[in-house]
Structure formats: C-alpha cells, structure tokens
Structure 1
Amino acid sequence: MRFSNWQNKFTAIWLILLTVVGLALAFAWLKKDIHIQTNIFSLLPETQQNPELAKTQQYMSDQLNQKVFVVLESQDQQAIEHATQLFETQLKKSALWQPLKPQLDLEQFSKQLYLHRAGLLSPQDRQLLQQAVQQQDFEALTEQSLMQLMSVGMPITAESLQQDPLLLFPRYMLNVATQASSDVELEHGFATIHDEQNVSRLLVLELTQSPYNIDYQQLVTAWIAQMQPQLNDLNVQSHWTGTILFSNFGTQSAQKEISTIGLGSTLGLIVLVWFGFRSFRPLLTEFIAVSTGSLLAFAITHLIFGEIHLMTLVFGASLIGVCVDFSFYFMAMQSQHRKLDGFNVLRPLLPSLFMGLMTTVVAYIFLSFTPFPAFRQIAVFSIVGLVAAWITSVLLLPRLPSLNAQPAIQCLGWIGQARQWFQQQHKMRYGFIVGIIAMGSVSILFLQPNDDIRNLQSMDAKLKQQDQYIRSLFGQQQSSDYFVVQASSSTELEQQESQLLLKLQQLQQQGAIESFQALGQWIPSLAQQQQNVQLLQQIPETALKKYAATMGLKFADVQRWQQQLQQQPLLTEQVFQQHPLAFLQPSSTERLVIVNGVQQTELLQQLESANIHFQQPVDTLSTAFAQHRQQAQHLLIYALLALAIGLGAVYGLGSVLPLVLPVSLALLSTFAVQAWLGVEINLFSIMGTFLIIGIGVDYAIFYRHGHDHPQVVGMALFLCMMSTLLGFGLLSLSDTYAIHCFGLTVLLGVIFSFIYATLFTPADQKHIVDLPHRSIT
C-alpha cells in the first residue's frame, strides 16, 4: 500500500535518483575528476577574430600568467646579492617553481653579438656612412672614432681595434642600451636599478602548474609567506606581482563571500522562519530542498560543461533565496487548513506553484541564450537547481503537519489591508502607474554603462599597489598592448617590422606612446645588415689609409678587416634565444611589438594593414562585454514578451497586463534609482533583471490567482521577498563591482516587484483557489 498513490511512487523514484547522483559525485570526487575553475576570464566568450591572432593572444597571456615578478630592494648591494642567492637555493628545493634563471647571461650574449657584429651599425653611424659614400668624405667618421677612443668610459684594447678598427660595435651597443632603458642595467644577468637611495633588482619566477589551480595557489602563497621573514632578516624589502597572486585573492574573496552569503542567509532565515511559523522546522526542510537542488545542479552543470566555475557556486549559494518562495506560500496556506491532508491543500495550489516555477525557469532559459559562458553555466545551474528544489519541496512539505502562521498573518495584516484599500482607489492607482512610467523613463536616460572587463575581479588594494610599483620600475614587458607582424617569409617579416618601427619612433616623438619593444631594435633585418656591410666595403683604400694613419693603426690590419666583412656571419634571431625579448618572435613568420603608454589609440590603429594588427586584449574584451550587455538587453525584452504570450495562453489575454505590468514597472524603477544613485550598469546588472522577472511575475500570479484572503498571501509573499533579499541582496556587499551591481539590481527589483504586485495586481475571480473546509482550528 505504500506505493499505491502517486506521491509515494514519485518520492521513491526521486530518492533513488538523488542517491545515484550523490554516489556518482562522490566517486568522481575521489577520482579527482571534479574540476572547479577559478580563472575569472574563462567566463568570457571567445573573441570573434582571426584564429591565428587568437592563438597569439593566448601565447602572450601565457607568457605573463606563468610568471611571478619580484622586486628586491635594499640600501646594501651585498644584501641584494645574498637575497638573490637565497632565491636560487630555495627555488631549487621547491617543486612549486622552475629553477631561477638570469634574465640574460650578459657576458655570453655579448660574445654572441660580437661574433655577428659585421652588419651591426648604430643609426648615426649608418647615416654618416651613407653621407660619406655619397660625398666621398670620411672625415666625420674619423672624428667619431677619435672621440670614442679618447672617451674615458670606453675602454679600447689593441685587439678590439684590430677586429673593429672603426669602433662600430661599441657605438651600436650603446645605442641599443639607450633605447632599452636609461636606468636599468644587467648585473649577473638580472635587471637592476641603482639610484641614490636603493638598489632594486627584478627576479622573474616561473610556475610549474596553472596559476588557476586552487591547491597550487595556496601552496605558492604559503611559500611566499615563508620567504618574507628570511628576506627581512637580510634587510631586503620585496614587492610581488603576478596572475597567481591576483587569482588567489579572487579565490579567497569568492570563498569569503560564499561564507558571508551563507551565514547571512542562515541567520536571516532563522529569524524570518521563526517570525513566520513559530518553528525552526522549515529551516531543515529548506536545507533539504536546497541541498538536493544544489546536488543535481552541480552534477548536471559539471556534466555539460566539463567543469564548474567558482562564480557559479557563488550564485548557486543564493538559490535558497528563490526556492523558499514556493515553500513559504504553501506553508502559509496550509496553516489556514490544518484539518486537511497536506496533498489536498497542495492539489489546488499546484498550478500556481508550477507557473511560478516556470516563469523563473523561462527567464533563465533566455539568459542561457547569451554567448557568455558565465551566464550559460549559471543559467543551467539555476534551472536544474530550482526545479530539483521545487520537486523536493512538493514531495516533502505536504507530508508534514501544518505550522502556526497566524501570529505573522496578524502582524503583517496591514499589507493585505493596504492592498484592499489601494485596489479600491482606481484613479490613484492609474495615476501612480503613469507617474512611475514618466519618472522612470526620464531617469533612465541618465543611466550610464560601465563595461570595463577589469570590474569582473575584485582587486586587493595592496596587490594593485605592488603591481603598479613594479610596472613603474620594470614594467615594459607587462604591457597588454602590442602589434602582431605577420609575413610569408622571414625576410618579408623583417621588412614589415622595420617599417613599423620607423612609424612608432615618430609616434613616440609626438607623445602618442611612451615607448615600445621589438626584436628589430636589437636585430636589424638581414637586408639592412647586408647593406651595412656593402657600405663598409665601399670605403675607398685611400680613406682607410688616412684613417689608419690618424688612429695610429696598421693599414694592413684595417684592410684585412674590410676584406673579411663578407665572410663574417650576420646576426639572426637564433642568437637571441636566451634574451628576455626572445618571446617576441613566436614563429619564423610572426613577431610581436609591445607598445607602452598608449595615449592615442586611433593613431596606432591607423598603422594596421593586412600583415600588421594592433591588439588591445583588455579593450577588446571590454568592447565584447558591452556588445553582450546590449544583446542581453534585447533578450530581456524577448523574455518579457515570451512570458506575456505564455501567461496569456494559460490564463487568458485579460491576465497578461495585470501579471506583467508590476514587474515591468519594477525594472523601470530599479534602473531609475540606480541612475539617481550614480550606479553604472553592466552585463551582471542585466543578468539580475532576469531573476527579477521570474520572481516578480510569481508575486503577481500568487496575488491574482491565489487564495481569497489577501492577508495570507501578503504575509507569504513578504516572507518570500525577505528571503530573496537575504539570498541575493547580500551580494550588493561584494567587493567585486560586477557582483555588487548584480546584488543591488536584485535588491531594488525584488522590493519594487513586491510593492507593485501588492498594489497594482487585482484579484481574478475566475482563478481563485477555493479550498474546502477553510479552518484554522
């Protein structure tokens, strides 16, 4: 007999399903097949661009994401050396890091450059040579070498004069060093800055795992914390920055916010449930409903997407704010019919409860149409979670005895009384509606968007300060703006880059950019090196004899040097494999040019061509963010239309306006208030409106087609509103601006939805729920 009715059969099936899912998740967790993603930018859609450019962008991202930049500072040079040795020792002992490598072995690299010096000329020497060859006057070149020979800072040996009699190579190196930086020098292969007060040295640490691995983040953070006291003992101050540090802060912040939301929701619900029903039993039943909903939502979301993002769990933790709406409504109604069996109370309420669920589900279905992976994942999680929690509540709550909601109904009776009075004031009601539409329409004209992608992640002020400080000293390699130069051959690639660098030099002189970095600054193209060699070979014998006599050199040595120029190897990118800028050539047909301090983006965009592309990943993503916000706004309108059509089909055309008008006015008022407060909207603000639609239409449905006692409905919906505010309103306290905007939007939208549904939704006599033997005894 236990399974003779539908509720027992469905309950048995549901329990079996939950057990299977729970065991499957436990097994996957033990096998470590559960993947929780923390990379905030993995939530973003892939930019629609050339696949090769997208690959290059990922390449550039990996170059920085897998590194931690550390600046050591001390007044004592010896302390800096000891600190560097400490890092070398500790990194070798730890599996968390790659061994510490000098950014450049200067001695070895200089030797390599010297072996390939034949075609290397500074721009000044190249210009002097061109003029000398044209005018057959080499006096200026002789004077340049004499000045260098007499310079105290330029030690010249007899061997160097024999191999480079015109002293071209030292001037080339001096020019390159000046272009690279006027302050930074290499000591033991590490970038170092000496000023009047401190010695600063940059160390680049390389990770061994993904910076978005939560366990790895914690280990690296602990390792850094252990290093700090040891550096302090050496009187060395350290500054740290890197993707893993920001990602770890975001992870910790998200986990803290999950705890805050959970604690706040729990404490608030304890008070709310006791006030409403004089019992803590609903806490247990709602915990069961939310747990089963979250269990199934986690399983289905992970199955579909292959992973689940921490941000999805943050929003999932707020599911309790929605699923209790149905429970509160049912328990309030059941409290008025204590003599009836729970399922007899449920049966006439079920259509309204089901439609309330469907309105929220439809809103999330439309949200899943966005190209944002974040919203698709959150939408799937919410849909599955809400449906599962609803089923659990429907199967569980009617089995339990009714609770005493009468004190709360009497305490909140003024809501029903206010509703009844306002419903009778037809002119006032219509006047309020017109006023809200007029004021809201004017106010939203002043609403401003903020689509900056950097708002997605909470930023620790100290970490941001450290990052900015390191950038100010050694930040040239950390710029996110760059050119991609592509060609079909290495020769064409060098020509394309050379032409681009000339234009960038002009923009730098105009103040449009601060600086730029390119391999072409160090490596002249092969064609230019060959031209340089030809220029040197065109120096006539008479000029070389005169030069040798002036410099006190043997003419035979100078002549031998000129004759051997053609046999000497030219400089290629292979020599630069160990140079810090080697990453600027991902392949033989592609080079990157980093641009720092962009002031006028449009001037750089004008330099683009079929083979040259200017990339600004942050700005590009922000633009995509804005485009998807606009698409979500369109989806919002479509969702309202779909709900109107669906409600009309179920309840009749006459019910469409009363059910849709309150939530539409709530959305208008929400954005109007945000405009008054100066709050900028973003994609997460629009996401919050989908939740408002589902909840707001629920309120209208319960009022229009609920019980004929407005005091009971008013009390139940007031509890629903408060529970939603506890679940989602707390998000407005988030440190992450995007989540703060979402929470604030829901906070305002739910309040307005409740008020407008209470005041503006008239009862529908055709669909009133009529429960027999209404009695509270």
Structure 2
Amino acid sequence: MTQLQQAGGPPGWRRRAVVLLAWLLVLLCGVVVIARTQIGADLSAFLPKSPDVRQRVLIEQLQSGVASRTLMLGIEGGSTEQRAAVSRAVAKEMRQSKLFELVQNGDVSDWSDSGTWVFEHRYQLSPGVNPGHFTVEGLRDAINETLSMLGTPAGNVIKPFLDRDPTGETQRIAMELVPASSPRSEDGVWMSRTAPRALMIATTRAAGSDLDAQAVAIAHVHAAYEAAVRDMGAEAPKLLLSGPPVFSVMSRDKIKTEAIHLAVVGGIVMGGLLLLAFASPRALVIAFLPVATGVVIGTASVSLVFGSVHGLTLGFGSTLIGETVDYAIYYLIQARQVGAGAVAGTGWQRWRDLNWPTVRLGLLTSVCGFAALVFSGFPGLAQLGVFSIAGLVSAALATRYVLPVLAPDGATGMGMRRYMAQLAGALVRGLPRLRWPLAALGVAALALVLWQGGHLWRADLGAMSPVPKASQQLDEMLRNDIGASDGGVLVVAYGDDEQAALRHTEAAAARLDALVDSGELVGYETVTRVLPSLEVQAARIAGLPDAETLRANLAEATKGLPLPASRLGPFLADVEAARKLPPVQRAELADGPLGPILNTLMYERPGGGWGTLVVLHPGAKFDQGRLEAALAGLPEVQVVDVGRELASLYQRYLHEAFVQVLLGALAVVVLLGIYLRSWRRLLAVCQPLLFAVVLTLGGMAVLQAALGILHLVGLLLIVAVGSNYALFFDQLRTTGRADEDTLASLMLANLTTVVSFGLIAISDIPALSSIGRVVAPGALLALLLSAAFARSVGPSRPARG
C-alpha cells in the first residue's frame, strides 16, 4: 500500500473511474430527458390543482378554450386593393392548412357549402319556427317582411330563394350568425374603421396549452403572408399579429432566450471572478461542474415529475448558478493542502471531515425551506420546489464525490484570495462593533414592513408575464378594430352529456335576449344557433303544418300580396320534406361546413361531460351585476369574471405560499436545533438570516416595490444561501479562530452569488428580475450580518504558503 493510500488519500483509479462514469451517465440521462421535454409558458401552471367550479371553468378556458386559441391579424399599409388581396390570400392558405378551425376575414366566397347546409336545415335552426308562424296571420307577416327586404342590399341574395323560403328563415339564421360587432366590409373583406388596415380573426385547432402546435400555426401565418406580398415590393402591406397564442409562444421563447443569455453572461462574469481568485483555468472548469450538474438534474427532475417544464422554472435555473457554485468554491479553497507536514492528495479528506458537515447542514436547511413549495397546490410553485431541491442536492453530491477525484487538494493557486481573506478578516474584526446599529435598523425595517402590511404584497399574476407593453397595446387595438370580446367576462354552460349542455345553453340564451333588448348587450354568440338541442328541434318540426293545412293557410295569407300562392309550390314541398328530416346531431355538424363554429363554441371537458361558451358583446350600458342576476338560478351555468377570479386565485396562491414558507422556516429552525443542540448557537445562526430577510423587505418597502410570489421565493433563497454563511461563522465561532481559507471561500462565494443575482435583477423577464432584486442584496446582507453577530471569532491567521 502506498503512502498516499495509508494517509487516507483518494481511492484508486478504478474507484475514481466508477465515480466519474456514474456521474457522466447521470448527466447524460438528464440531458436526454431535457431534450424530450416540452417547455410551457401559460400562466395556468400557476393556477390550483384542485379548483372550485368557477376556477375549473376558468382553467379550462385558459388551457384549451376559444380565447386561448384566437389569433387576430391586421394587414396594414398599401392600397385598399393590396390589403384585400393579401387578406384573401392569407385566409385561403390558412383554411387549406387545416391548422385552423375557423378563419374569418369578411370574405364569404368560401361559405357556399355552409349556406347550402343552413338552407336545407333552416326549419330546424330558425328561432322563428313555431306553430303560430304558419298560421294565416303568421305567414302574412313573415312574407311581408321578406318582400320589404327586396329593395335593400340584401335583396339580391334573397330573391333567388323567394319561392322556396318566402318566410325568410334562411335570412333570419344568417343574421344571427353574423357577429354582433363585426367590422365594416370593403372590397369584400373586413377593414378597420379607424386606420388603413384589413382585419382577420382565426382560431387554431390545437389547444392553447400546446405551444409547439401554436408556434407551427403562427409560423404558417407568417409564411402565408410572405407568399402573398412576395411580388408587391417595398410598398407591400405589413402584417400585425396578436392574440393569446402569440403571447404564449413569445413568452416561452423570450424566457428560454433570456435564461440562456443570463446563464452565458453570468457564467462569463463569474468565470472571470473565479479565474482571478484561483489563477487556474483548470480550477475554473472544475468549479462549474456542480453548477451544470444542478441545472441538468433539476430540469430533468421537474420534467419527470410534472411531464413538462414551465418557462419560469427554466429561467429559475439561471438563479441556481449563484448558490450551486458556492459548493465548488468552498471545496476548492478549503481543501487546499499546503504548509509543513501536508501530505499531497489528502486535502479532500480534511475538507470532508472539517467542512463537509457544515456544507451538508446548509444543504439540508435549504432543502427544508424549498420542500414546503413541493407540496403546493399550484403546479408552477411546486415545480420551483422540485427544481431547487433536485438541483441543490445533485450539485452538493457532485462537489462531495466528483471534485475530490478531479482535484484532491482543491485549487492550489492563490490568485486574489489572499486579498479576499484580508478583507474578510477586516470585516470580521470591524462589523461586530456595528451589531447594535444593524439590529436597530432591522427593528425599524420590521416596523415599516408591518406598517405597510398587505399593501406591500400587491403584485398579481400579470406581473409574472414577460409580454411587453407594446404587444399588449397592439392586441387591444386589433381587438377593438375587430370588435372581438376581450374575454373579461365568460358565460359557460355545461352538462353531463351533449344534450344537457345544449339545453342549459338555450336556457341561458333566453335570458340573455332580455339584456339584448334592453341594450346592455349588443349581442352574443352561442352554439345552439347551429346546433339546437333535440327537444328544440323536435318542437320546431312539430310546429310545421301538414301540406293541406299549409296550402290553405298560404292561399289565404297571400291574398292581395305581389307574391301569389301559385309560385310557392317549392315552399310547400320543402316544408313537407323538413317534417321528415332527422334531427341535426353534433357528429354530423362537426364534419360539415359549420364544424368550425361548433368546435369553437362547444368542447368536451377534461374531467368528463360537455361545455359550451357563450361569447358576449357588451353594450354601453353593460352591468355585470345585472348579467349575474339574469342568469342566477340556472343549473350548470356560470358567469366567470376572469380578472376577479385571477385576483382571487392569486391571493389564495400568495396566502398558501406564505404558510408554506413559514412551515419551511420552522423546519429549518428545528433541523438546526437538532444539529446544534444549543439555544445560544441556534440563535446566533438564525439571527443574521432573520435580519437579512427583514432588511431586504424593508428596502423593498422604502422603494415602494409591489411584491409577489416570486419575491417570496427570493426570500427563501436568501435563507438557503445565507444559512451556509451563518453556519460557517458558527463553526469559526466554535473554534474561536477565523481560518483564512474559510474566510476567503465565504467572501468569494458571496461575491459570485451577488454578481449572479445582480445580473438577474436587470433581466427583461419580470419573474426573474423579481428574484434577483431580492436575493442580490439579501445574500450580501446575510454575509455581513453573519460576520457582525459573530462576536467571538478572533483575528484571521497569517496566510499559509
């Protein structure tokens, strides 16, 4: 046995090879999982897993409802003819792609099949069909109304069908199917009333949560536009595109890009700091291995547990660099083996025996803190907890087992670390004199935080969205031009089966008609206009008279009219044929020309049963309270105020997060108490962490920042990072002397953490910048306060080597 092995040095080359091979295999598996992972960006991941009735309706709509699948297009600039030509070309290509359920631009040239189907089934679909409609008086009134329209612009459409539809059922259905607030038409397509802009609205087939499919649909729109303007030159109209699918794909791409950007920039900056500190490229590479391990394993773990990774969780990976690199710094500096009597290759063992227990305890406190998030009822928050725990544990294990194989004696070069140790020594000697002023400042900060109370925590879910203001303004502009509902208030009817959902929808529509008559609603859109329930269809067919009765009534009704009964033989034949038609079923309609309308307004619910969406067009006198009162008492009909429900959900979300953080903090205190076995030592370790959190909150209160969930996650990170500093100072306090290498490692670890989170604080992603603005100052305060309250730590030892 060699001297190195007798001294307890690192194991032989076979054992080292096994460790490295196992580590590389785990990393490879993680990379494979990540490569197959779907990245999401919709904020429905931050909605509860166990919602109530209204929340369930809201989540269904956010994930797969029509609002989450609607694109709005504007074709701006150029001449009127160019805009119309581009609109028709893009719409045609979109319809042919089969990526969209419904494409509307005011062009009715492709709706001939729909018109034919409606005409054939007009007596099942028309709301005017009832027994009184075919009496002598009813027929006379209906025929007079139809004749009066012959002199209007619609007359050319009505005249060819006059002999077969003198009562105007087809026209009545068509008027109901036209959106209540559609744009004006020019050159055969929709045009804005306020700007030189053609307009279009489309609904994708893919669910709103399927961002890959949404990205394909959006790319297809751009390709269709490029093809349409290819020969128009520099004067070609430009494309404006907005809607929830655009926002979701934009958010995902922006978060991924920003996360990569932050990781690269942060890596370069920290790499420069570590290179100055270690004066060794090899040590620099080794220092980043635990970081890479933590990010890969954290992301893969979330993917395996949840099936996908939210973009905010991915962005959170860049924040993990700031803490996981600390483990490598502690090892590379504290495992140095220099001076008289040092045996080469044994530094790792001294670090394992002296410093690893402290690092391990700091890791456990971090795990306890983030474990509270894992059990959250909100998937997005639970993802952050799983990511943090898996990332920190894997990074710490890589430090414990992989780094001793690659650098048994740590990083031997000194670089700038001597100066860091000297600065840290000065802080250790000087900061305890400021402990009482710092304590007083902490008490003042606590008083300010308590005084502001709930007003301080006033952020909402929208504050987590990275969609820029310009994109939001474009969306509002196009929505106003098109007259599309903003989705602020939803009316949803549902039932155990298709017919129950349709019956409940018809009941709601009957009450909404009163609001239309009073002017509170301009109109509304409902699936029952193309698919009435079987009961309603049966009642309409039953209201059709037999041939003899209708012939007699018609002869009497047409006396004195310019349309004699002798011309209406086709009308009699069609009514008789309609009496024998089978009822319209959803399956038949879904495969027909009106399938897009059906699939837009009716859907199968994820938990079973069916739902329908009633799209409202509010009028100038719209009052939500009267809407709710009008629909009150209807079974299985819900009025959902999206803004109010999201605000309520967020408050529940915030309250639950506070409870979980407090439970996590309690678990940390219990763990430290069990390990330290001393109330005095426990107080000494927890005191700087508490003051760091309070002073950070106080600073946010002074700046009047609106705090939210991710600021709370940032406070957890302060405790996670700061616990390592406090525990190392407890270790130094126990020995009574401040070891130079330990002080240098703490100084460098804190510097890299503050720089890492400082870069994140200036990110364009609000969710990431929220964390950075909390953790960067909080981590610095945690180190300074740990030094300030370390009363019994002596002066630093002279530099070794």
CA distance in 1, matches of 2:443, 2:613: 59
Which of the numbers 566, 585, 610 marks the counterpart of 2:602? Answer: 585
State the match for 2:672 in structure 1: 647
Amino acid at match of 1:585: M
Which of the numbers 100, 114, 118 marks the counterpart of 2:119? Answer: 114
| Structure-to-structure mapping, 1:164-243, within 5 angstroms | 164-165=165-166, 167-169=167-169, 172-173=172-173, 175-176=175-176, 180-181=180-181, 183=183, 192-193=190-191, 198=196, 200-202=198-200, 204=202, 206=204, 210-212=210-212, 223=223, 226-227=226-227, 230=230, 233=233, 235-243=236-244
CA distance in 2, matches of 1:33, 1:436: 46
Quote how far apart the aligned CAs of 1:334 are.
6.2
Residue 38 (structure 1) aligned with residue 40 (structure 2):
yes
Work out whether residues 516 and 523 of structure 2, in 8 Å CA contact, stay in contact via their aligned partners in 1.
Answer: yes
| Structure-to-structure mapping, 1:524-563, within 5 angstroms | 545=555, 547-556=557-566, 561=571
Instruction: Classify 1:714/1:214 alpha carbon distance in 2 versus 1 (closer, same or farther; 3 Å).
Output: farther
CA distance in 1, matches of 2:40, 2:231: 30
Instruction: Classify 1:545/1:316 alpha carbon distance in 2 versus 1 (closer, same or farther; 3 Å).
Output: closer
Which of the numbers 644, 647, 651 marks the counterpart of 1:626? Answer: 651
Which of the numbers 460, 463, 477 marks the counterpart of 1:469? Answer: 477
Instruction: Classify 1:730/1:9 alpha carbon distance in 2 versus 1 (closer, same or farther; 3 Å).
Output: same
Work out whether residues 703 and 762 of structure 1, in 8 Å CA contact, stay in contact via their aligned partners in 2.
Answer: no
Work out whether residues 424 and 743 of structure 2, in 8 Å CA contact, stay in contact via their aligned partners in 1.
Answer: yes
Work out whether residues 290 and 395 of structure 2, in 8 Å CA contact, stay in contact via their aligned partners in 1.
Answer: yes
State the match for 2:524 in structure 1: 516
CA distance in 2, matches of 1:430, 1:102: 65
State the match for 2:635 in structure 1: 610
Q: Residues 25-77 of structure 1: CA distance to partner in whole angstroms, max 9, x if unpaired?
A: 64786799632423344743535356996699269716566665434356645
CA distance in 2, matches of 1:144, 1:388: 78
- For residue 549 of structure 1, give the secondary structure of its aligned residue in structure 2: coil
State the match for 2:686 in structure 1: 660
- For residue 681 of structure 1, give the secondary structure of its aligned residue in structure 2: coil
State the match for 2:781 in structure 1: 752
Which of the numbers 446, 449, 463 marks the counterpart of 1:455? Answer: 463
Residue 325 (structure 1) aligned with residue 326 (structure 2):
yes
Instruction: Classify 1:229/1:705 alpha carbon distance in 2 versus 1 (closer, same or farther; 3 Å).
Output: farther
Q: Residues 508-527 of structure 1: CA distance to partner in whole angstroms, max 9, x if unpaired?
A: 56676664311234566666
Quote how far apart the aligned CAs of 1:694 are.
1.6
Amino acid at match of 1:384: A
State the match for 2:428 in structure 1: 416
Quote how far apart the aligned CAs of 1:459 are.
0.8
Instruction: Classify 1:555/1:237 alpha carbon distance in 2 versus 1 (closer, same or farther; 3 Å).
Output: same
- For residue 172 of structure 1, give the secondary structure of its aligned residue in structure 2: helix
Amino acid at match of 1:38: G
Instruction: Classify 1:17/1:129 alpha carbon distance in 2 versus 1 (closer, same or farther; 3 Å).
Output: same
Work out whether residues 183 and 193 of structure 1, in 8 Å CA contact, stay in contact via their aligned partners in 2.
Answer: yes
Which of the numbers 344, 359, 362 marks the counterpart of 2:365? Answer: 359
| Structure-to-structure mapping, 1:104-503, within 5 angstroms | 105-118=110-123, 144=145, 147-149=148-150, 151=152, 153-155=154-156, 160-165=161-166, 167-169=167-169, 172-173=172-173, 175-176=175-176, 180-181=180-181, 183=183, 192-193=190-191, 198=196, 200-202=198-200, 204=202, 206=204, 210-212=210-212, 223=223, 226-227=226-227, 230=230, 233=233, 235-273=236-274, 276=277, 282-329=283-330, 338-339=339-340, 340=342, 342-343=347-348, 345-346=350-351, 347-394=353-400, 395-396=403-404, 398-400=408-410, 402-404=412-414, 405-422=417-434, 431-452=440-461, 454-474=462-482, 476=484, 479=487, 481-487=489-495, 493-503=501-511
- For residue 735 of structure 1, give the secondary structure of its aligned residue in structure 2: coil
Instruction: Classify 1:17/1:632 alpha carbon distance in 2 versus 1 (closer, same or farther; 3 Å).
Output: farther
Quote how far apart the aligned CAs of 1:86 are.
4.6
CA distance in 2, matches of 1:294, 1:141: 72
Work out whether residues 319 and 727 of structure 1, in 8 Å CA contact, stay in contact via their aligned partners in 2.
Answer: no
State the match for 2:760 in structure 1: 731
Instruction: Classify 1:217/1:685 alpha carbon distance in 2 versus 1 (closer, same or farther; 3 Å).
Output: farther
Quote how far apart the aligned CAs of 1:551 are.
0.9
Work out whether residues 102 and 597 of structure 2, in 8 Å CA contact, stay in contact via their aligned partners in 1.
Answer: no
CA distance in 2, matches of 1:53, 1:252: 28
Question: Normalising to structure 2: TM-score of the pair?
Answer: 0.79
Work out whether residues 632 and 683 of structure 1, in 8 Å CA contact, stay in contact via their aligned partners in 2.
Answer: yes
CA distance in 2, matches of 1:157, 1:222: 38
CA distance in 1, matches of 2:318, 2:179: 53
CA distance in 1, matches of 2:713, 2:392: 17
CA distance in 1, matches of 2:121, 2:442: 81
- For residue 551 of structure 1, give the secondary structure of its aligned residue in structure 2: coil
Q: Residues 264-289 of structure 1: CA distance to partner in whole angstroms, max 9, x if unpaired?
A: 42343245335655655542331233
- For residue 685 of structure 1, give the secondary structure of its aligned residue in structure 2: helix
Q: Residues 74-126 of structure 1: CA distance to partner in whole angstroms, max 9, x if unpaired?
A: 664543454356547867998x9579977874323223222333466676x98
State the match for 1:671 in structure 2: 697
CA distance in 2, matches of 1:205, 1:488: 26
Work out whether residues 70 and 239 of structure 1, in 8 Å CA contact, stay in contact via their aligned partners in 2.
Answer: yes
Instruction: Classify 1:662/1:149 alpha carbon distance in 2 versus 1 (closer, same or farther; 3 Å).
Output: same
Amino acid at match of 2:767: A
Work out whether residues 28 and 34 of structure 1, in 8 Å CA contact, stay in contact via their aligned partners in 2.
Answer: no
Work out whether residues 335 and 406 of structure 1, in 8 Å CA contact, stay in contact via their aligned partners in 2.
Answer: no
CA distance in 2, matches of 1:81, 1:171: 26
CA distance in 2, matches of 1:46, 1:600: 31
- Which one is further off, 648-657 or 54-63? 54-63
Q: Which ranges in structure 1 are unaligned for 5 or more consecutive residues? A: none
Quote how far apart the aligned CAs of 1:324 are.
3.4
CA distance in 1, matches of 2:610, 2:387: 44
CA distance in 2, matches of 1:383, 1:436: 30
- For residue 317 of structure 2, give the secondary structure of its aligned residue in structure 1: helix
Quote how far apart the aligned CAs of 1:560 are.
8.8
CA distance in 1, matches of 2:512, 2:374: 44
Amino acid at match of 1:117: R
Amino acid at match of 1:649: I
Q: How many residues align?
A: 760
Amino acid at match of 1:645: V
- For residue 51 of structure 2, give the secondary structure of its aligned residue in structure 1: coil
Quote how far apart the aligned CAs of 1:567 are.
4.5
State the match for 1:689 in structure 2: 715
- For residue 198 of structure 2, give the secondary structure of its aligned residue in structure 1: strand
Quote how far apart the aligned CAs of 1:447 are.
0.6
- For residue 500 of structure 1, give the secondary structure of its aligned residue in structure 2: helix
CA distance in 2, matches of 1:142, 1:222: 48
Work out whether residues 38 and 310 of structure 1, in 8 Å CA contact, stay in contact via their aligned partners in 2.
Answer: yes
Amino acid at match of 1:634: V
Q: Which ranges in structure 2 are unaligned for 5 or more consecutive residues? A: none
- Which one is further off, 740-749 or 375-384? 375-384
Percent identity over paired residues: 18
